[in-house]
Chains A and B, each alone.
Chain A
Amino acid sequence: MSAPPTDSGSSSLTELERAPRSDAHMRAEDYQPVFTGPARAELNELLTHYPTKMAALLPALWIVQRERGWVSEPAMAEVAAVLGLTPAYVKGVVTFYTMYHQHPVGKYFVQVCTTSPCNVCGAEDVVRAILKHSGAGELGVTSGDGRFTVIEVECLGACGFATPVMINEDFIESVSAERVPEILDSLP
């Protein structure tokens, strides 16, 4: 039996590489806290919903993403401090859930459902059309003008309205490849 190929290169114990830092790594000292003023008040109100502070973690991360567009490592550290958790714990949770952006994304974050029920209705054509028309070109890559980041998403739970496309918070139903230019062009 020969060893299967690896995805990239080979591992060597003597190369004590550190895992690559994200490009968007931000110096902690430049970070402006999210949980001051109204956001803090909002979180305080949320904390009354639960018997533990930890339970407010997902809502707190949502607030961060709403305010900053993504969840940076300093933001994770802030959330950890506010809720009495450790940054590593918060990061473990953030990376579990697909909706928290760990990198900045385009002005329009476009999620196209391609799971089977939509897939049999032509969702892949919709993805191709969006990639082409948005200028993003590739999944997960932000278009040159910073407007679009497009990803395929697993079942959006609107299978009867294939193909559903989420653009930021907007849920657009029954998108066909033909409708793509009109939808994207209508965005401010």
Chain B
Amino acid sequence: MGFPHRSHPRETPVLSQHFGDPDARSLAGWRQRGGYRALEQALTMEPAAIVGIVKESGLRGRGGAGFPTGLKWSFMKPGDGKPHYLCCNADESEPGTFKDREIMRWTPHALVEGCAIGAYAIGAETAYVYIRGEFTEPLQRMTDAVREAYAEGILGPNALGSGKRVDVYVHKGAGAYICGEETALMNSLEGRRGNPRIKPPFPAVAGLFGKPTTINNVETLAAVPHIINNGAEWYKAMCQGNPKSTGTKLYSVCGNIARPGNYEVVMGFPFKDFLYDLCGGPPPGRRFKAIIPGGSSVPIQTIAEAEATVMDYEGFVAEGTMLGSGGVICIDDAQCMVKQIARLARFYAHESCAQCTQCREGTAWTTKIMERIEAGQGTREDLDTLLEIADNMTGKTICVLSDSCAVPVVSGIQKFRDEFEAHITQQRCPFRGAAAGGGVATAVAA
């Protein structure tokens, strides 16, 4: 079942198979759909065996970085006498991304189950699900699901009668994109400002409350029960000849697209077919101009690059960008790239935590220059300055928010320089007031 559209025949709905089905939300409904069988089985296994299966499956982090999940879990050393923690990163805030939201809205028990298995596998008794504060409905669904799971003895001191303790708590964020960064999330959970921490120490050594911690994205954890139920081989087989990228991936598609929504396809799917067949291509009468395929922090692709892309971790890199969070932002030819890049810069400036100099000052400065260019007050030197600021903001800070602000600026100036120059030479935004038809291209060309 798809949502908000029906599933496309070329989709492979695993995580999304119950999207749009309200009956899947309740514990009873979830059990009818095979829920908690994986947890039951997992609790009979040695934790190391679970880590082994996940490792074997090739599952990689779905939050953006793509780190192998089994390997991450194997960094935890159960039995070292310290409490261990699992954090579920449900702070989904990357512009263009809304997949975790749908997982939590429709299949909250899938995530509870994934958390419980994950916690058990890494030797943690406690898992925290950190959900961004704006997600009022997912928060409610998750809270209800956790309550049901406790009531039925699935969670608690004797999870499913196994004699093992698994606690899952829902924690509500309060409005900060940066809390999606794993160490910032931990600080936030501890009741601090959401400042990313310097690494090392890595979370597996000193994470939440200074204790060994693993943090996984919602989609990653929600995939785990399926892997336990169906086996690593099943999951690994879902790819197109690239063993480094396996399984299905949920893509959130938004912006100027005929059928926005979440789509689940196997790794290695052709991006061109995805955009045109599954998502219906651009809105009527328009053409795609640019695609930001992995959330706003990845380099912008021209439509030619996008159409040549194979949708897996390596495929996106080969076409100059990244899979990221899987948030596909489509931009059509009626949109002004300068305006949209300025808007993204403003986003990062708003969300910078203020720790690192380059980020605190650079995101705001970039925004001011971008907005000035958009307003027709830019100069050619501004473009050089922007690129130099971007260079200063890249690879030099505690986390990558600063880099993420630089990314659209650099790729935008590289790939859409004509639009920047049109703003400068015409001293106005050529898209402002331009006719919705073919006037735009001529405006830029002039």
Contacts and interface: CB of A to CB of B under 8 A. Distances in A.
Q: Do A and B bind each other?
A: yes
Interface of A: 49-52, 54-59, 61-62, 83, 85, 92-93, 96-100, 111, 114-117, 119-121, 153-162, 166, 169-171
Interface in B250-289: 252-256, 260-262
A116 B347 contact: yes
A54 B134 contact: no
B93 A97 contact: no
Given A93-B191, A157-B135, A116 B343 contact: yes
Interface string B182-225: 00000011111110000000000000010000000000000000
A58 B296 CA distance: 27
A54 B347 CA distance: 29
B343 A114 contact: yes
A124 to B, nearest CB: 10
A155 B97 CA distance: 9
Interface string B320-364: 000000010101100100011001100100110100000000000
Contacts of B252: 159-160
B59 to A, nearest CB: 23
B249 interface: no
Contacts of B174: 58, 61-62, 97-100
Contacts, number: 149
A58 B191 contact: yes
Interface of B: 4, 83, 92-98, 100-101, 132-137, 167, 169, 171-177, 188-194, 209, 252-256, 260-262, 292, 296, 327, 329, 331-332, 335, 339-340, 343-344, 347, 350-351, 353
Nearest to A166: B134
B172 A58 contact: yes
Contacts of B255: 116-117, 120-121, 159, 162
Contacts of B347: 115-116, 154-155
Contacts of B173: 58, 97, 99
A130 B301 CA distance: 34
A177 B3 CA distance: 24
Given A51-B83, A99-B134, A162-B260, A57 B327 contact: no
A97 B134 CA distance: 12
B172 A59 contact: yes
A161 B97 contact: no
